[in-house]
Structure 1
Amino acid sequence: MKTKTIITLPLIVLLFSALTAFREPAAAPVDHGAYDQLLRKHVDAKGLVDYKGFKKDEKAFNQYLDMLSKNPPTASWPKNEQMAYWINAYNAYTIRLILDHYPLKSIKDIGSSIKIPFVTTPWAKKFIKIGNETISLDNIEHGTLRKKFDDPRIHFALVCASISCPRLRNEAFTADKLDKQLDDQGSDFLNNASKNKIGKDAAQLSKYFDWYKGDWNDNGQSVVKWVNKYANTKISPSTKISFLDYNWNLNEQ
């Protein structure tokens, strides 16, 4: 005769407690303070970078990157924590990429030195270890930030180490200040005459507004609306818009 095993409610609670006791606690959002200090030390008010200075502080810089690598964002992190992490990671690993090939005149020069089949740009090179994955700058920008967060202001924050890029902030992005920082980046970018030349009748805009036109037109927005959100000089749908040539020279002091 078979005996039945009766699982009582107290036993279920005990089993559940035993199982959950072995779970690792959810990872807390990371502290970007070390990166903030490096940016304040080696990036000027114009966003130009002292790459030689970063080289001298390479140990501290690598420790920050290692911390990012070992602490990928989880779904439990607030949205702004996740965004700040990925924006900082993109910009920091871009600096790391430049240091790996320094000295050079342009990030685009790195493309010819990559000996990986079907990889011809530095943005496609998978050299970034985040958790158990090895990813590229393209993966961060297009696969995570643009895809997951749907906020075109990231284009004002991601810096490709070039003169025509937005200014690299000399502070880290943080969750508590993220909205203000992104708006500040938008204002700085649109009112910088070397990146956008805006007049009421004609505007020469950054290539960003051409390359990512789909992003700017999402959710009932438009290039005109985004420009007017931040630019001191306002434009209209009748304003003649063209796009400036992109300066890929290194954003070096």
Structure 2
Amino acid sequence: MDKNEQKSLSDYIGYLAKIDPRDYSRDEQKAYWLNLYNALTVKLISENYPIKSIRDIGKKMDGHSLLNKPLIHVADNPISLNDIENRILRPIWKDHTIHFGLNCANMTCPGLLPQAFTGKNVTALLKQSGRDFINDQNGVTLKNGKLIAAGIFSQYRSDFAKDDKMMLKVFAHYADDRLALYLLGFQGKIDYFHDYSLNGL
């Protein structure tokens, strides 16, 4: 990311910081928090690049959690990435599709979408991102009788499904037809994997 792009990103984050999302509709609020989370994540990486993993940034902070560090003020409240994900989006919306829109910058999370969320497109974009991710080798892979799924699904299991049987139905809901059929008939266990290397956003 060059200096002009970094300035544009900082200007965009500054613009979002001036907004009180409580003045907007529920869908617009969801879009706002998703966009802010992703913009802050990209800014952190661009300011610390080159790095192999976003976790490398945390190592520079003397052991302090990167996710809990306040990065911005919204409506006069200090806000961290953890605040956005775990104190706002997850508990308020109770919607597993938000995980398809949050870019945690590693290979076992969905990639950054090429457009911003809006109140009008947020539902459709999250569903499309879910389809793209689950049909990608980094999302769900069924090969030689083994089912391997991205660690995000085990990390936030309670948001997706109460057990592996229900998780298979979630995968099948987003999967292409052929994969969906295999998933619905799968009898083995799901192996979850984590890869914290940068996903290129």
Shorter-chain TM-score category?
Answer: 0.7 to 0.9
1:157 deviates by 0.9
Residue by residue over 1:178-225, the C-alpha shift from the partner in whole angstroms, topping out at 9 and shown as x without a partner, is 11101100100000013320359542111111111111127xx93122
**Is residue 124–residue 138 contact of structure 1 (8 Å, CA) maintained in 2?**
yes
Residue by residue over 1:94-135, the C-alpha shift from the partner in whole angstroms, topping out at 9 and shown as x without a partner, is 0111122222111000111113xxx63321222222221112
Amino acid at match of 2:68: A
Amino acid at match of 2:49: Y
Amino acid at match of 1:84: A
Structure 1 pair 128–237 and aligned structure 2 pair: CA distance change class (3 A): farther
2:44 aligned residue (79, 97, 108): 97
Amino acid at match of 2:97: R
Amino acid at match of 1:58: Q
Over 3 Å off, 4+ runs: 199-202
1:70 aligned residue (18, 37, 47): 18
Distance (Å, rounded) in 1 between the aligned partners of 2:53 and 2:4: 21
For 2:72, the equivalent position in structure 1 comes to 128
1:239 aligned residue (181, 187, 194): 187
Give the 3-state SS of the residue equivalent to 1:176 in structure 2: coil
**Is residue 108–residue 121 contact of structure 1 (8 Å, CA) maintained in 2?**
no
Amino acid at match of 2:167: V
Residue 203 (1) aligns with residue 152 (2): no
**Is residue 161–residue 170 contact of structure 2 (8 Å, CA) maintained in 1?**
no
Larger Rg: 1
**Is residue 45–residue 54 contact of structure 2 (8 Å, CA) maintained in 1?**
yes
Amino acid at match of 1:168: L
Identity %: 31
2:32 aligned residue (85, 98, 113): 85
Give the 3-state SS of the residue equivalent to 2:68 in structure 1: coil
TM-score by length of 2: 0.88
For 1:145, the equivalent position in structure 2 comes to 89
1:82 deviates by 0.4
Q: What is the alpha-carbon root mean square deviation over aligned residues?
A: 2.1
For 1:13, the equivalent position in structure 2 comes to none
Residue 106 (1) aligns with residue 53 (2): yes
Single out whichever of 120-129 and 206-215 deviates more from structure 2.
Answer: 120-129
Give the 3-state SS of the residue equivalent to 2:184 in structure 1: coil
Give the 3-state SS of the residue equivalent to 2:189 in structure 1: strand
For 1:189, the equivalent position in structure 2 comes to 133
TM-score by length of 1: 0.71
1:162 aligned residue (84, 96, 106): 106
Structure 1, gaps ≥5 residues long? 1-51
Structure 1 pair 239–226 and aligned structure 2 pair: CA distance change class (3 A): same
Amino acid at match of 1:240: G
**Is residue 202–residue 239 contact of structure 1 (8 Å, CA) maintained in 2?**
no
Counting only pairs closer than 5 Å after superposition, residues 172-187 of structure 1 correspond to structure 2 as: 172-187=116-131
**Is residue 106–residue 197 contact of structure 2 (8 Å, CA) maintained in 1?**
yes
Structure 1 pair 238–191 and aligned structure 2 pair: CA distance change class (3 A): closer
Residue by residue over 1:5-59, the C-alpha shift from the partner in whole angstroms, topping out at 9 and shown as x without a partner, is xxxxxxxxxxxxxxxxxxxxxxxxxxxxxxxxxxxxxxxxxxxxxxx24x43222
